[in-house]
Amino acid sequence: MTQLALRGVPLDRARVLRLLQDYGVYAGVLALLLANVLLTPHFVSAENFRTQAVQVAPVIIVALGMALAIGSEGVDLSVGSVMALSTSLISLYLGYGPVAAILVAVLGGMLVGLANGSLIAFIGVQPIVATLALMVACRGLANVFLPQLKDVRDPTMASLGSGSVLGIPYLVLIAVALALLVAFTVKRTTFGRQLLAIGDSRPAAQLAGLPVRRVLVVVYVVSGALAAIAGVLATARLTASDPTSLGTLMELSAITAVVVGGTPLSGGRVRIGGTVAGAVLIQLLTATLIKHDLPPSWTQIAQAVVIVAAVYAARERGRR
Amino acid sequence: MSTQMKSPVLDASLPEEEPLGARRGERLTALAQQHGALVALLLTVLIASVSFEAFPTSDNLGNMAVGSTFLAIVALGMTFVIVTGGIDLSVGSTFALGGVLAAWGSQYGTLVALLLPLAVCGLIGLVNGLLIAKSRLAPFIVTLAAMLLARGILLAVTDEGSTTYLVEERSFLATLGEESLLGVSLLVWITAVLFVLGALALRRSRFGQYVYAVGGNEDAASLMGAPVARTKIAVYTLSGLCAGLAGALNAAYLMSGVTILGVGMELDAIAAVVIGGTLLTGGFGFISGTLAGVLLLQVIKNIINQIGSLDSSYQQVVSGAFLAVVVVAQTWLGRKRRML
Amino acid sequence: MTETYDAGGPQAGSGPPGAEAVLRTAGVTKRFPGALALDGVDFAAYPGRVHALIGENGAGKSTLIKVLTGVYRADEGLVEYRGEPVEFATPLEAQHAGISTIYQEVNLVPLMSVARNLFLGREPRNRFGLIDFRRMHREAEEALRDLGVRVDVTRALRTLGIGAQQMVALARAVQVDARVVVMDEPTSSLEPREVETLFGVIRMLRDRGIAVVYVSHRLDELYEVCDTVTVLRDGKLVHTGPIAELDRLRLVSLMLGREMGEVRAEGLTKFSGEHETGGEPVLTARGLRVRHTLHDVSLAIRPGEVVGLGGLLGSGRSETAKAVAGALPPDEGEVLVAGASVRTGSTPAAIRAGISLLPEDRKAEGIVPGLSVRENIALAALPGLSRFGLVDEERVDRIVDTFMKRLRIKASGPHQKVGELSGGNQQKVLLARWLAMQPKVLLLDEPTRGIDVGAKAEVQKLIDELAADGLGVLLISSDMEELVEGSDRVVVLKDGAVVAELAGAEVTEDRLLEAIAAHSRAPEEGAPS
């Protein structure tokens, strides 16, 4: 059936553009990989891939929640601060054992998400503004809880941060598992379908009797929880809690991954595979520039250009 | 409806039909919105003066005044942007970039030291404005990218942040940061002049009317002949200029272009503007409120320092909570008004 | 190419003798993908005349207005302003030339003061280039007083009633030296007293020699304030002439395209006619009131019955359906399903009780365009098709398959995006969404508008079948034929109140026309104190 429909449509400019939006990110990842294999010395090594994967894992986890928020026609700017909050909570509660500390950290993230979601769903504050307020407050809270950098000396945390199974770091495994879980949620659950419908057409979703407010609250709670998990993992990897700098600009990286991955800012669509690929693309881009001795300043400038280009390309689809 | 007519010109003062209570309530909310920050500021200052001996000293007050000038100038530009219904997240980075460029430029003379940051930061603002007004991209994402871009340029200029340029000792820029007039720092005078100009531009110029109109109802504004795109481009450029100037003045004050400044400053600026009564949805706001908002944040910071036992991070918690409360109140009031 | 039209001279009967039309169109045609919105329309507005422009939904009124005011450009034909052919690129250009439009939704800036709105872009300035507020306020007060409105011009516009806001829009239009003022349903949300004031102003404009083009659905108003009337139907001009020469019944028949006594013996629709109805009402609505829109609407539907809701556009038909379905919270009134009270103002509550609404604006409020046919059909029923929050894909497939077959939905497959389907198939998808919920009552708001003839017949047949299965159906339609032939009973609305109810042999187009055209009783709120 689908093939039939495909054959009927001419391969015009709009279609090419659409293919580019949908699969451009994968092509980009492939192209970068290929270029690096050919041009970068010592690129093809297990160690290098492991380093890259470990670095990108927290970004992927945060971006998953961001993808849900953007799919509901919102955004969550508080994710970076939630990571910071989570790292201070870990340090604070590590005395009660690592499991308790992790649970408290994730719970904290969910509470922030609950606050975000309630402001947005029940009071009707714009997502940007609501999550901005929480972003400022959370960063402050994180610093209040833990005024300065503190080492995290705990065997469980340490193994979580640097351990691996069959050569694959735990961090990467967790990120992959979460990505699969979120993808499954979007594709196969009632919640996922309702989320997409709400993001695509709020009035239609309302008239169809969907629980719009509940879905929105859950979206931000999930986003908060994922950011907190990313905070836990980052803490484990660094074996230190640094609430001042952990997660700064993370919202930007997450939004970039989501947008580059082909999820439109106008909502109604969530591409988990694209989001993961988007995060990987940015990571590879950074790594490539660094490996070729281009300074970090160039990476930042390049990332800025990539964001604007991705949003600009997605703009066309907005005009259905 | 009866078909017979009364007099051809009706003396129907339509709004008079509303219940008086509703009208008074309307006035009160407007007043609360316009002067709420000022009242809060005065109360806080009063309480602080009574509670802490060191607070009402001229030294402390003078330091607070100088310390708030940089955020004030950034928030001034931000006010224009937010009144058009937009947002500018790049100001923290452009502020830092402005400082570095001014310090670097001071070795080539005062003119370069002042014009270079203005030119570069103004250009970044202009590009923001073009992408937002002409390509119709979302302001938050464009200015997020610009934030990264400005930080990147800053790093490129400073050898990846390893070089800190010093402001030439004998330059005019250095004078700006050090000298005072009638016992008040030149920086404060400059800020005061800018705020008077800004207030005149927003309230008393035609451009200001367009800014309000674009933020209040973009479609209507364009139907009424307001140059919507030009107005938007202008406010983002203005915001870039303000951030660049604030950065340059900050460099003059610190005598160097510190590279790690300005992180999170955009949030303080937005918080100050919103606490000052400007609606984040656009179309409504005051320069005077922004000033009150900036000072309020500064006083809170000072109080937290006075208490001593409290970590300075409490300031962020307080301003975040303040922002949330103000935004909830605005949304709630806005909804109530629509129902009237 | 060979088409010719008479572009010169005022049309006979439409203007005052000897006067030149200030704004006219000749043979204006406007096409949209799949629709001919305007088909060779000649229209002329004269100075000092109030010209009514009427027609049902889709007749082409708004398209014509948009062509006149520079929003659209005509595909064919000519627009002439003050004797010169013109082509306005933007509404602003038209406005500068002297054609001002007052929209239904006031197009001003609500947060700015009355005076600032009046003078935006033309503020009086002192010698320093700063705005001279004292002068601006004085002049604004004068301008509004000229229109008979006394108001504190420093107040924010949104604190004024809609009527007063419209006066400000009018004042702005007059101030920019308008020669033509186009008003698009200006009274739709006004209180009776505000309407009187507005009419006073319209008469004043007329006396100043301004041409007023007035769009409204309220017949009483047309007769009160207009001199000339132009009726459009299906994009064509069907009548132009002095309104005094046209009685109300004739006017309504022109709008609806139905002649008295011309009803066909056998209908063209696919409706079979009578349904077996009986028993207690499945749906009862009592005393629904919504500010500005509904004044005491009550109706009852029995199982197996199709109740038509008649009336002109703006009479409160859609609002009634929305109030019943929980999408428009009523200020007063109750809704009962099978005798049990339903919480008003909540769509989930209404849906749980078995009420389903097919909204009028299919694209904005009905379909979720980015989702597939399958997901759109299953959307409302999802919680029932899931276990522990997981969608039971097999059951969804079965239901989707059943309804795609039963409703003969034409798509490349269940995974095609609904936004890509034709209007008729989109409508069927929405019907399927509701049928999957096994509702007791279906509220259908213009179910066949904008869909092609074949699909229309199918949908009509389906409505018939659903009623035969024992559903209660509320049918809203601007298509007289569809309404009369599809309904067992017709409740006629006017200005948000029930004015007549036709049952059995009374359900004919003649009776319906009469009921719609009848003079309305003075509404209670409008009674002068």
Which ipTM value was assigned to this complex? 0.79
Residue written as tokens 């309307």? B26
SS3 letters for chain A?
CHHHHHHHCCCCHHHHHHHHHHHHHHHHHHHHHHHHHHHCCCCCCHHHHHHHHHHHHHHHHHHHHHHHHHHCCCCCCCHHHHHHHHHHHHHHHHHHCHHHHHHHHHHHHHHHHHHHHHHHHHHCCCHHHHHHHHHHHHHHHHHHHCCCCEECCCHHHHHHHHCEECCEEHHHHHHHHHHHHHHHHHHHEHHHHHHHHHHHCHHHHHHCCCCHHHHHHHHHHHHHHHHHHHHHHHHHHHCEECCCCCCCCHHHHHHHHHHHCCCCCCCCCCCHHHHHHHHHHHHHHHHHHHHCCCCHHHHHHHHHHHHHHHHHHHHHHHCC
Q: How many domains does chain B have?
A: 1
pLDDT, residue A233, reads 92
At A195, which CATH number? 1.10.3470
Give the mean pLDDT of C504-516.
81
Chain A residues touching residue C393 (CB < 8 angstroms): 188
Range of the domain at B129: 37-46+56-339
Q: Which residue numbers in chain A have pLDDT < 70?
A: 1-14, 315-320
pLDDT, residue B185, reads 82
pLDDT above 90 coverage of chain C, percent: 4
The secondary element (H helix, E strand) that includes residue B178 is: helix B172-178
**Residue C261: pLDDT above 80?**
no
Domain boundaries, chain C: 268-354+439-522, 365-438
Whether B317 and A140 have beta carbons less than 8 Å apart is answered as: yes
Q: Is A200 on the interface with C (CB under 8 A)?
A: yes
Chain A residues touching residue B316 (CB < 8 angstroms): 136-137, 139-141, 143
Residue A189 lies in a domain: yes
Give the mean pLDDT of C64-70.
86
pLDDT tens for A261-276 read 888 888 888 999 999 9
Q: Is B135 on the interface with A (CB under 8 A)?
A: yes
Whole-angstrom distance, CA of residue C179 vs CA of residue C46:
10
Phi, psi of C180 (to 5 degrees): -130, 130
Residue A23 lies in a domain: no
* pLDDT range class, residue C50, cuts 50, 70, 90: very high
Residue A207 lies in a domain: yes
Residue A17 lies in a domain: no
Whether C273 and C485 have beta carbons less than 8 Å apart is answered as: yes
Residue written as tokens 């074996």? A239
Whole-angstrom distance, CA of residue C490 vs CA of residue C503:
7
- DSSP SS3 for C337: strand
Question: A222-244 b/e with 16+ CB inside 10 Å = b?
Answer: bbbbbbbbbbbbbbbbeebbbbb
Whole-angstrom distance, CA of residue C250 vs CA of residue C240:
13
Q: How many domains does chain A have?
A: 1
Nearest CA in chain C to A189: C390
d(CA C453, nearest CA chain B) in Å = 37
DSSP assignment, residue C327?
S
> C-alpha distances in angstroms, C149 versus C139, C141, C179, C189, C481?
13, 9, 21, 18, 45
Chain A residues touching residue C383 (CB < 8 angstroms): 190
* pLDDT range class, residue C270, cuts 50, 70, 90: low
- DSSP SS3 for C187: coil
**Residue C279: pLDDT above 70?**
yes
Residue A5 lies in a domain: no
Range of the domain at A253: 45-311
Residue A1 lies in a domain: no
Which residue has better confidence, C192 or B296? B296
Structurally, at CATH architecture level, domain C268-354+439-522 sits in: 3-Layer(aba) Sandwich (3.40)
**Cβ pairs A/B, distance under 8 A:** 136
Residue A105 lies in a domain: yes
The secondary element (H helix, E strand) that includes residue C402 is: helix C393-406
Chains that touch C (3 or more CB pairs under 8 A): A, B
Q: Is the Cβ pair C350, A193 closer than 8 Å?
A: no
Q: Is C413 on the interface with A (CB under 8 A)?
A: yes
Residue B201 lies in a domain: yes
Q: Is B26 on the interface with C (CB under 8 A)?
A: yes
pLDDT, residue B309, reads 66
Q: Is the Cβ pair B200, C528 closer than 8 Å?
A: no
Whether C461 and C468 have beta carbons less than 8 Å apart is answered as: no
Whole-angstrom distance, CA of residue A149 vs CA of residue A155:
19
- Give, for all 340 residues of chain B, the pLDDT tens digit: 333 333 333 333 444 444 444 556 666 766 777 777 788 888 888 888 888 887 878 888 888 888 899 999 999 999 999 999 999 989 999 999 999 998 888 888 788 888 999 999 999 999 999 999 988 888 888 998 899 899 889 888 887 777 777 777 777 777 777 777 777 788 889 899 999 999 999 988 989 999 999 998 888 888 787 888 999 999 999 999 999 999 999 988 888 878 778 777 888 898 889 888 888 888 888 899 899 999 988 888 888 877 766 666 777 787 788 778 877 877 776 665 544 3
Residue B75 lies in a domain: yes
Q: How much is the pTM? A: 0.80
Which candidate in A3, A207, A265 is best for mutational testing of the C interface (most C CBs within 10 A)? A207
pLDDT, residue B94, reads 94
**Residue C97: pLDDT above 50?**
yes
pLDDT, residue B310, reads 64
For A188, the closest of C364, C369, C391 (CB atoms) is C391
Whole-angstrom distance, CA of residue A138 vs CA of residue A83:
9
Whole-angstrom distance, CA of residue C271 vs CA of residue C342:
31
**Residue C528: pLDDT above 70?**
no
Chains that touch A (3 or more CB pairs under 8 A): B, C
d(CA A210, nearest CA chain C) in Å = 7
For B213, the closest of C112, C195, C520 (CB atoms) is C112
pLDDT, residue C277, reads 60
d(CA B185, nearest CA chain A) in Å = 30
Chain A residues touching residue B332 (CB < 8 angstroms): 123
| Tokens at B287, concatenated | 């320069």
Q: Is A15 on the interface with C (CB under 8 A)?
A: no
pLDDT, residue A157, reads 83
